[in-house]
Structure 1
Amino acid sequence: MRVTILGTGAIAGAHAEAITGLADHGVDAVLAHAVDIDAARAEEFARKHGAAAHGTDLAGVLADTDVLHVCTPPGAHVVATVAALEAGVHVVVEKPATLSLAELDRIAEAEAGSAATFTQVVQHRFGHGLRQLRRLLDDGALGRPLVATCDTLWFRAPEYFEVPWRGRWDTEGGGPTMGHGIHQFDLLLAVLGPWSEVTAMAGRLARHVDTEDVSMAIVRFASGAMATITNSLLSPRETSSLRFDTEAATVELSHLYGYSDADWTFTPAQGRDDVGPLWQPDPAALPSGHLAQLVPTYRAFVAGEAPPVTVHDVRGTLELVAAIYRSAFTGAVVRAGEIGPGDPFHGSMRGTGPAWAPVKDLGAAPR
């Protein structure tokens, strides 16, 4: 598989290292091209990661590409993805895949007319602990999931937002709900399944941005389970944590940007010591990360099968993002399936807009 990486900023390095690591798992892939609007940066990236060629023109290398990894800022994802799919090239996109549900629906339409497939990076779905929890729930060994919490409590100093595309609806798509917490509540959905309704609030409390810097939501799932979600960029002690309370046990994950089996805690319910032995670490398992996702993804590409994360999976998570914003900005409960073409939150996560003023109307950043 000949691979092109589009966008050679920080996250592209994780993609390049994972592509190199595929060989250890029986997948034959080579980084053929590095493409960036900055020619010097593309050249430096190619030299560092062993890409055979580099340049600034994506269209010129698609004919020599089997898989395109899109690592640009989110605002550039949809055009590159659609172009690749129309050229019959598989696409792996960094999160968030698009700035809106409308853009994702455009990608789904392009994929439907292509021999190639699309997937988004949600690498935490592929850690051993998550896969083990999902299997135990599917087998009924832990009973029904009942209550969950999902917290992305991160810290981004004001300087972080000096990068021009950050903190803006038109280029980043949203704040921590869209660009940071999405990894954790994607895990929540991977465990609990489809969501049915959400009530939320959001605020711009401390950062000089157009988007929110914190949001909170209460979510009911189709199964009846209930969960809380917090997404913050204002939390000095950073942590990413999830807790699942089932009929038979509490299962907890505490990490920051990636986890191994050591980051999970399993606590049987009173009188349910029988379930304790069911939770077993796997020392040979890959930690959650890009390689853990790319191994089964590339195997699916080679076999002509759907990747383990489909556009349908991506849409369920992105629809929850849109619902959180819609509930936060309108004060209404939002139910799954309500946000479709014609809804302001289908075309933009900003939708009808938050109560606070755009940054350009605020003057100097608050101290």
Structure 2
Amino acid sequence: MSAPIRIGIVGTGGIARVHADNIAKLGDQAVIVGAVDVDPERLAGFQAEFGVEAGYGSLEELLAQGKPDIVHLCTPPGLHKEQALVALAAGVDVLSEKPPALSLAEIDELVAAEQASGAHFATVSQHRFGGRAKWLRERLADGRLGRPFVAVCNTLWYRPDSYFDVPWRGNWAIEGGGPTMGHGIHQLDTLLSILGPWSEVVAVSARQARPVATEDLSTAIVTFENGAVATVVNSLLSPRETSYLRFDFEFATVELEHLYGYGDDNWKITPAPGHEEEVEALWAEGPHGNSGHAAQFREVIVAREQGLPLPVETASARRTLELIAGIYASSFTGARVATGDIDADSPFYTSMEGSGAPWREALVAAE
């Protein structure tokens, strides 16, 4: 039996607790060897709650003294890239919370650092790893549901003004964007993992109500290389919260409705007339199982044991970030954006705000 993977947790806020809870589900496959936080009191509370003996004030101390095999970045988004570069330079694998970087330029830096170090960088995208998401990817591959025609990808969440009292929220420089970047990325990533590469996007974003520099609402129409077309809504203004994905295939509609995580009961399939028998037989096959961090962590361990890139690998995470950049670029310029359009000459390559949100001047004037 292999020795347990040695995990270091960087940042000990709310998402770090999700990581620690799910690492515990791995049993003797993994152990937390240390945690890092700049707030000693918060760090001590985390250590006491999860039985973590070693606490550190910096990532560098963790790497030097804790000797982790992999670090989990549970810090605010604006810190992910620099922390990942430090760990990769030390030859240590990285699993970063979303978003992994604030721009395409930053993710490209991580790709280069990963290649130079030989260590692996991966992004947490836990909704990819539920059983039914895997089942749908298999159906795209074998074509047994027919061609994909239409999709819906909605992140309709609610965040009050007080949510943005935390300084880095709603801030381009630290969070990287609004719900398109920080919230809708969950469903967008799952959509792309199922339907495959996108080819073009046209979008609208708005700052309707929240006291933020970023958007609080975006909508988009995304065309995929396989011909499917998806509508996307990302909102922090929706009192009845839901995360909703719908895929209309030639022979069936498949739907997922949940909030922050799903099980088999959150999925529904509706056969097209005349295809009931074969679709119901397909649905009964599985695979089954909940989404969640533990499901992805297990896949990470398997990949490490086999010497493979860790899921979700940088190339795949970059495709999701490129779509997000495309949504902002289309929203702020009014243009249709195709894959590959946002290169190093584009202002949207180095910042999701790019050429500037339409409401920026009004915000500056108000200040």
Q: What is the Cα deviation at residue 276 of structure 1?
A: 1.8
Report what 1:315 is aligned to: 318
52 and 164 in structure 1: CA distance in 2 versus 1, 3 angstrom threshold: same
Q: How does 1:127-146 map to 2 (within 5 A)?
A: 127-146=130-149
- Report the AA paired with residue 196 of structure 2: G
What is the alpha-carbon distance in structure 2 between the residues aligned to residue 17 and residue 319 of structure 1? Answer: 31
What is the count of residue pairs matched by the alignment?
359
The 5 Å alignment of 1:146-161 reads: 146-161=149-164
Look up the match of 1:38: 39
* Corresponding residue for residue 340 of structure 2: 337
Find out whether 1:179 has 2:178 as its counterpart.
Answer: no
Secondary structure at the aligned position of 2:297 is classed as: helix
Question: Does structure 2 conserve the Cα–Cα contact (< 8 Å) formed by 1:146 and 1:247?
Answer: yes
Shift of 1:116: 1.3
Instruction: Decide whether aligned partners of structure 1 residues 45 and 281 sit closer, same or farther in structure 2, where only a CA change above 3 A counts.
Output: farther
CA distance in 1, matches of 2:250, 2:198: 19
- Name the CA distance, whole Å, in 1 between partners of 2:177 and 2:251: 37
1:23-172 alignment runs, 5 A limit: 23=27, 28-63=29-64, 64-172=67-175
Distance 2:20 2:111 in 1: 26
In the alignment, which of 263, 281, 305 is matched to residue 266 of structure 2? 263
**Would you identify which runs of 4 or more consecutive aligned residues in structure 1 move more than 2 Å?**
357-363
Between the aligned residues of both structures, percent identity stands at 52
Of 9, 19, 22, which residue of structure 1 is paired with 2:13? 9
| Amino acid across the alignment from 2:93 | H
Equivalent position SS for 1:60: helix
- Separation in 2 of the partners of 1:137 and 1:286? 19
Residue 342 of structure 1: how far off its partner (Å) = 2.2
The one-letter amino acid paired with 1:234 is L
Q: Which residue in 2 is equivalent to 1:21?
A: 25
CA contact (8 A) 1:129 1:281 kept: no
Q: Counterparts of 1:10 and 1:40 in 2: how far apart (Å)?
A: 14
Amino acid in the other structure paired with 2:170: G
> Do 2:156 and 2:235's aligned partners in 1 also have CA atoms closer than 8 Å?
yes
- 1:201 and 2:204 correspond: yes
> Which stretch has the larger CA shift, 170-179 or 113-122?
113-122
The match for 2:329 is: 326
Matched, 1:354 2:357: yes
* Cα distance in structure 2, aligned partners of 1:207 and 1:44: 32
What secondary structure does 2:25 align onto?
helix
Q: Is 272-281 or 326-335 further displaced after alignment?
A: 272-281
- Check the 8 A contact 1:241/1:253 in 2, yes or no: yes
Read off the aligned partner of 2:13 and give its amino acid letter: G
Q: Which amino acid aligns with 1:6?
A: V
Q: Secondary structure at the match of 2:58?
A: coil
- Consecutive unaligned residues of structure 1, counting only runs of 5 or more, are none
Q: How many angstroms apart in 2 are the aligned matches of 1:224 and 1:337?
A: 18
Inter-partner Cα distance in structure 1 for 2:83 and 2:360:
32
Instruction: Describe the superposition over 1:135-178 as per-residue Cα deviations: whole angstroms up to 9, x where unpaired.
Output: 12211110111100100000000000010000010010000000
The answer to whether 1:280 aligns with 2:284 is: yes
Unaligned 5+ residue runs, structure 2?
none
Given candidates 218, 225, 233, the residue that maps to 2:228 is 225
TM-score with structure 1 length normalisation?
A: 0.95
- 1:210, 1:177 → 2: CA distance? 13
1:270 Cα deviation after fit? 1.1
Question: How far apart, in 2, do the equivalents of 1:291 and 1:285 lie?
Answer: 15
Are positions 1:246 and 2:249 aligned together? yes
1:59 counterpart SS class? helix
The residue identity in structure 2 corresponding to 1:255 is H
Q: Is the contact between residue 204 and residue 218 of structure 2 (CA under 8 Å) also seen in structure 1?
A: yes
How far does the alpha carbon of each residue in 1:294-332 deviate from its partner, in whole angstroms, 9 at most, with x for none? Answer: 101122123321123210000000000000000000000
Alignment partners' CA distance in 2, 1:329 and 1:36: 37
Q: Residues 216 and 235 of structure 2 are in contact (CA less than 8 Å); yes or no, is this contact kept in structure 1?
A: yes
1:360 Cα offset (Å)? 5.1
CA distance in 1, matches of 2:203, 2:74: 30
Q: State the 1:115 CA deviation.
A: 2.3
Q: Which amino acid aligns with 1:181?
A: G
CA distance in 2, matches of 1:31, 1:361: 48
What amino acid does structure 2 have at the position aligned with 1:150?
C
